[in-house]
Chain A
Amino acid sequence: MKVQVRGLHKRFGKTVAVDNFTFSFDNGHVFGFVGPNGAGKTTTMRVIATLEEPTEGDVLINGISVREEPEYARRSVGYVPDSLPAHNDVTVHEYLDFYARAYGLQGAKRREAVGAVEEFTGVTGILNKHLKALSKGMKQRVTLGRALIHNPDVLILDEPAAGLDPRARVELRELLMVLATQNKAILISSHILTELTEICNGVVIVERGKLLESGTVADVLKKSTPHRAFAIRVLGEASTLVKELLQTPHVINAREVGGEVLLELEGEESAGCELLSALVGKGFKIAEFKQSKANLEDIFMNVTKGGVQ
């Protein structure tokens, strides 16, 4: 199952919400969809979920166009919107049962699917509660259950962690990690980038309706942060080390921060080893030498310029 977003444009009157987005993700990929408010994330997700029609371009889900054959494309997609249902006249079980029927599941197959989803999302204890009476975390689980009821290959989650308490967030993250192991193609948007870092192996960065970067985290990282960052703790005067580093070729921007020396280094991974051996050779007593790993937050800050439309 492959999701290909091709030259996607979406305009609302004169407002360009999505301007020529092109990216793709595959089975087993968990792609983080990040960008400030108004960047076009929700619109893109709604197009993939067949809720909106693109102005131009298309999205192919395993080769099926959401523009031309939305009825068929939507069989493979489960969508979790950024707001939650709050019916006071429908119980959790009835809600899931209805969607199972709506997706054409019948008889024992339906009961089995509903039971499996209820168990997976951990809502078995609240089946007879009305949706309005549920906490946000539980509503999110029910919504996720609804999106999974027909066992879709593609899962689109729009801000699933928004407004959840820390425990609910951790539980949701665990559910998503399990889903990722089930070989589903997952696109997830969130403002909490640290959370995405833990589960995503790919990223799409958008801002003001424009796509800035997309690809695996490693690829985007390479593109967005060409220099390697290191932190060195030295026994003795750190300022001497800073002076030495600033005179060393390929070292840029060395500075002392809280007893550590932070520096950026040009070149391949071996450049770090060479620097370390050179410093030791010059008599510096190196207590700690570590490479700082950039995360989604760093990538996001590097790539975006800030501002909303």
Chain B
Amino acid sequence: MKLSRYLRPVSIAAVTAAVAIGFSGPPVQAAPKQGGTLNFVVPDEPPSWDGHRETTFALIHPFAPFYSLLIKVNPENPSSPTDFVCDLCTGMPTPADGGKTYTFEIKQGVKFHDGTPLTAHDIVASFNKIIFPPEGTTSARIAYFVMVESVSAPDDHTVVFKLKYPSGAFIPALATPFNFIYSKAKLDQDIRWYEKNVMGSGPFKFAGREAGAYVRGERNKDFHVAGQPYLDGFEAIFSNKQAVQVQAIRGDRAAIQFRGFPPKSTEDLVNALGKDITVQESDWNCVLLFTPNHKKKPFDDVRVRRALTLAVDRWGGSQNLSRIAIVKAVGGVAFPGHPLAATKTELEQLPGYWPDINKSRAEAKRLLQEAGVPGLKFELSNRAVDQPYTIVGTWLIDQWRQIGVTVEQKMEPTGPFYARLRSADFDVTVDFNCQSVINPLLDIGKFLSEDIGNESYGAYVDRDLDKMFEAMNRTSDEAEQRKLMRQFEKRVLDEQGHSFVTLWWNRIIPHRSYVKGWKISPSHYLNQDLANVWLDK
């Protein structure tokens, strides 16, 4: 007991120091060393190997190193939500035709792992599969490209995207890490070939796999970026138990897990390994929401919905919950830090974000009284996943208790939880939005009317809101986008109280200090091709 009392402040200090080291500005970079194999753990296994079809990070972590993209998030600056660079193109294009045409020049001499040349036709075939999938093929990202009219290749080294209307959402959608560039020849042979096979042009070649155990990659000597990759290879080991992942890093069976750990696990690793562990931390493009069912009484009354958000102390919650859970940033509907996101002053105007929580809760009680439900009781539907669902759900219940509302939490495994969401069989549910590339213009599609937004679970129709979304996505003027975003946000979080943001997630990656070159990004989907990762052993 005495020892743990002594260790606790030490460990907190150690984590703080490690985090501070990670964020004290860019360290002086040593020259990358060639060689070595990076072992990392992946908490899940993907269903198929086709990036165009799947949506899980479990596909990205082991398979992204095998593929090139047309453009990607800048690996040297992945925390920026707006910094995109070419991967297979030679330079980021300037849009023509009033923002409706994008012409990409493609690198020459790029080869697929089987030695065949990669041309513009492969890129067109890949994007046609993503945007206009042929009959019998599944694409998970059709909706990201609603603005695209056509993709064509006038010659072997030029790709042209023609849009129906100018859209600020196009470039971020193009940089989505699932947009692997496949071989046209393979797609022509069998459009579903990539579900069970791997053949790309990325920094690593596929070297084997065992179902449920691992995926192995080896260095692609013909990679189109000179000198990269630095590693001889990698091994992605599947392990779904968090305790095992932590122990694997501690016992050096793996050097890193790219999804993230909660603060306590990070603290344990820092305590056990000291300087051998480096911690990187970032805001995360995932957020937990709570959504009242508009078709159930009394949640059909906007006053009741507003009372629920007014009770929640987000500023205080951020400070306290971030010590035990993977949540931290206070934000509105757009990712905090993005140019389209609300500033702190703007947020403080919204209910549930007021600086004075007592005033906010007094207003909540008044609204409940006015609506005739002062002692409201309801059930909160939640997903039985500890981090951060259970913790945030429990916190919400405590917040509502403080305005006299009694809530029972109904925890369910993922399958039944999804089924309940989709059938709108709940009073209030914990809801979520988790995206890869930060693209608020599309990410807020989550809040659209139930007949438009596939993931809108509040059972409401709001055509004014849908029009705002449409207008925002049809202008390339950033000032106009920002203005419309504020209106959209106010309508969702205040005027109509459709759904409410709790706290944005916080990504914490403790890794072996010998892993160099990898920089944390605001999404566990981004910056995972491992081309610039090296081992300082």
Tell whether A and B belong to one assembly: no
